[in-house]
A and B are shown apart, each in its own frame.
Chain A
């Protein structure tokens, strides 16, 4: 995969940059051009706090090839205090312990790499807050 596809995503994957709609206050992550709540296009940049709560989760046992060595791993929908929701792995714990309501911190981590000697793919993962 060409590197611009990763480079474009650096603001959200490395820095959790989101956008807040000036018209209706909706926080979208990552930033988009049009507000899904009010369809206005006037946003101010906002950063998400590096923490949140699990809304729902799973433990992936049968994984895609690039993730096979990590399986089983927990993936969760996490809501941050700003009201934004994102999907991320939750690691450094037994995947079975990641359930709705679990508090997590978000950390900068390697997500995967493309095949042998491919691009290293970075982003955020959750770890249990306690």
Chain B
């Protein structure tokens, strides 16, 4: 296997982007990545996307997106892994370059969620249709059940979860690409409307449009495209049971632990070696569960991290400096790539007001469904 680097990135703003279609979003992000690397060719494209078929009635995204990038002819496929589609696309691109099959591959993610489809219903298709969605459960509902199980096991409170939103909005307020560039208070979070008890609106990520793209090549060719490549130390995907009911402990995201353990092993690193982290905070409780499963805090201690500043900018291990899914926005297929871009920029020292000093190693964790899929990438400045 060859060593692989990310050499360029492109990303739209996230939000309700009514002026842009699915293909517009992709073309904007992908062309920014190509332009920044001064690349005029590609060997292959991976398009991470969860549900364009349901959101805008469009399948067969591979050729559509290659065409709109002016690259008809290039190999191009869509990768689907629910909300982890972006991370899965990045992994596919990594494997293609690492294997030696291709030398220049675009990994992108895109989702257009505000064109009229009922987002709650579309997202619920990432749950088990026969055993979960049939009974009227929603995604906020599934994570609410995880939250209640976590509360029972570890005493996690609504206020603990509110602190995650407060912290991530504080970070997102500094991110020009974020959907919600404003801070919120604990009182505002706890006063927002109930979505699925105990999760309130400001503990849930929003419905968003957006796209993100990164360009991958072998590390030994990276200097052709940039003088600051970022190496992919590990690219790992793991799964768990599809239905929440089939998890022995519904308060623990075992696919996240499995993906993290494999990634640390592949990179020969441990959690304390990581300087900056993006996790999949689709709901506030998810960040608490993810930092536990990633080994950044002890299991059961995740509830204190945001409140105590451990995971804030300036803290011991800053988490979701981009604002996370909560504040930056969550165009589901694009999220995994956008997380990698935040780490890429942090490691290159390009994160502006959000910069983590001397960040050399970063981790991005992207999740699908109620934790049935988890993708972990570990990146390193070289």
A interface with B by C-beta (< 8 Å):
9, 30, 36, 55-67, 70, 72-73, 75-77, 85-89, 95-96, 99-100, 111-112, 121, 123
Contacts and interface: CB of A to CB of B under 8 A. Distances in A.
Contact of A60 (B131, B149, B196, B250): B196
B245 A64 contact: no
Contact of A75 (B120, B145, B199): B145
Contact of A95 (B138, B197, B246): B197
Contacts of A65: 118, 121
A62 B199 CA distance: 11
7 contacts: A36-B246, A58-B148, A60-B196, A75-B136, A76-B145, A89-B135, A95-B197
Interface residues of B, number: 35
Interface of A is mostly: strand
Interface in B183-197: 193-197
Contacts of A60: 136-138, 140-141, 144, 196
B197 A96 contact: yes
B152 interface: yes
Given A56-B146, A58-B145, A64-B121, A86 B245 contact: yes
Contacts of A63: 120, 136, 138
A87 B144 CA distance: 14
B131 A86 contact: yes
Interface of B: 118, 120-121, 124, 130-138, 140-141, 144-146, 148-149, 152, 193-199, 241, 243-246, 250-251
Given A85-B246, A100-B149, A59 B137 contact: no
